[in-house]
Amino acid sequence: MAMRQTPLTCSGHTRPVVDLAFSGITPYGYFLISACKDGKPMLRQGDTGDWIGTFLGHKGAVWGATLNKEATKAATAAADFTAKVWDAVTGDEVLTLAHKHIVKSVNFTEDSNCLLTGGNDKVLRIYDLGKPEAEPQEIAGHTSAIKKALWCNNDQQILSAAEDKTIRLWDKNTKEAVKTLSFDASVSSMEYIPDGEILVITYGRTIAFYSAHSLDLIKAVDAPASIHSASLHPEKDFFVAGGDDFKLYKYDYTTKEEMESYKGHFGPIHCVRFSPDGELYASGSEDGTLRLWQTAVGKTYGLWKCVLPEELSSENSEALYCPPAEIKA
């Protein structure tokens, strides 16, 4: 039975989409936030892509965006030298955290009480959101701009990736680097999987998986093109990746074999992430759109509907697949 992957296109942004993140699963479903160079991060319903709202307040490109697990708080990192914390329910700005340079990355602790930031001034900062007037804790050591910074290992350690071609694992309390990984190219993305403590990183054409505890290499795969982002399925059966050639690649995690590839974007793919239930993955591109892709093509889920014609025998029938309409902000 032939099935064609039909992505759901979410328009509304006017510049390249450079980062995206899902919330956890809440009583109201799960949610998706996108960071864009148009300076207007957007919140959407995660399973349908329906636009919920736009966070207005930044005066420059937004490079990073995240939601806490409960989808009650959002945080954004921007070129206006600030990180902002938002009420994700009302859309109100809660805090503006001034920095000395462009901010690229924001990440909440599990309890949502602290925010980790990183950016072009090479310094990691930890803000206690309960004491916004207090000075942040600072961790220095990178020699170039920080691209991504994430809490890991029950928020006791921090992982950071920078333009200095390193990933560093830091102890939150001592503020010392525990381990450093060096690469022959700048790391383009980093994803942390708490379940199993796996670190997914991309650099050049390589997608690599490391232990987040020891930073020992688990496995690596080389893709046909330069890769900007990769994401591991929650069940760890497979992973997806996207980059310069506008394609999304899906690989078997165990065998490392390419399962399929899809083209839908009209520009390089900057970010890709699986939803918390693993039913879809979202991609953001230079073309200014987000696209949602089904993990199991043809399954009825969200706005996707699969209709089998009863009058045709199952042996020679092709599924009548009703693609969803384009979602506009």
Residue pLDDT tens, the chain, 329 long: 457 888 999 999 999 999 999 999 999 999 999 999 999 999 999 999 999 999 999 999 999 999 999 999 999 999 999 999 999 999 999 999 999 999 999 999 999 999 999 999 999 999 999 998 899 999 999 999 999 999 999 999 999 999 999 999 999 999 999 999 999 999 999 999 999 899 999 999 999 999 998 999 999 999 999 999 999 999 999 999 999 999 999 999 999 999 999 999 999 999 999 999 999 999 999 999 999 999 988 888 999 887 665 544 444 444 444 555 555 55
The 3-state DSSP class for residue 60 equals: coil
CB atoms within 10 A of CB 4: 11
- Kindly provide the residue ranges of all beta strands, DSSP E only, lying in 183-279, ordered along the sequence: 187-193, 198-203, 206-211, 217-222, 227-232, 238-243, 247-252, 258-263, 269-274
Side-chain-side CA neighbours of residue 103 (13 Å):
30
Residue 317 CA to residue 41 CA, distance in Å, equals 43
Under 8 Å between Cβ of 122 and 159: no
Single-letter code of the amino acid located at 317:
S
Name which of 116, 115, 117, 169 is nearest 141 in CA terms.
169
For residue 251, list its beta bridge partners.
239, 258
The whole-number pLDDT of residue 315 equals 45
The whole-number pLDDT of residue 4 equals 83
Question: Helices H, strands E: what count in the chain?
Answer: 0, 30
Distances (CA, A) of 234 to 5, 194, 197, 278, 302: 20, 10, 12, 6, 18
Q: List, in order, residues 6 or more apart from 193 with CB less than 8 Å away.
A: 199, 200, 212, 232, 236
Q: Which domains does the chain have, with CATH numbers?
A: 8-312 (2.130.10.10)
Residue 287 CA to residue 17 CA, distance in Å, equals 8
The single residue listed with the structure tokens 């942004």 is 13
Q: List, in order, residues 6 or more apart from 172 with CB less than 8 Å away.
A: 126, 155, 156, 157, 158
The single residue listed with the structure tokens 């930031």 is 117
